[in-house]
Amino acid sequence: MNFNGPLIKDRLFLSNRFHILLRSSPVRDCHFRLTKRKANHRATSRNSTLVLSNRHSADFHFRLFPLNAISLVNLDFFRPQSVTPNYKQKDFVVTVRDRYQVREGLLQSAFSFQAI
């Protein structure tokens, strides 16, 4: 799902995105048992742009991966369920950019932080 649009006309623009992926795939092991490998991926991101003047703007970006989970990683015929691990990941990213046009050039400053 995406939500986009201006919050303040010609000054502040906002974009929100939410993404979910659920996947399940059947796998047979060496004992011919049918097991399902599952994957969950969820992510949300928010972008906003603030126009301070016709030569100056600032961008703010926030992205959150609250849970990326995969059960039974590398499960296949020769690796049974008892020896395959599960995987979980949580991380987020924050980025701020400032752009200012100076004569014929562009001065850009950026700051980014990521936690895993």
Q: Of the candidates 40, 45, 51, 63, which has an alpha carbon nearest to the alpha carbon of residue 4?
A: 45
- Mapped onto helix, strand or coil, the DSSP state of residue 26 is strand
Query: pLDDT at position 56, please?
Result: 94
How far the first Cα of the chain sits from its last, in Å, is: 24
Q: What is the mean pLDDT of each run of 10 residues along the chain (116 residues)?
A: 88 89 74 73 88 93 79 74 77 93 92 89
Is 86 exposed, middle or buried, given 0-12, 13-18 or 19+ CB atoms closer than 10 A? exposed
Please give the model's pTM, rounded to 2 decimal places.
0.67
How far apart (Å, rounded) are the C-alpha atoms in residues 14 and 64?
Answer: 16
Residues near 8 by beta carbon (within 8 Å), at least 6 away in sequence: none
Query: pLDDT at position 91, please?
Result: 83
Q: Which parts of 1-104 are beta strand (E)?
A: 2-8, 12-28, 34-53, 56-70, 87-102
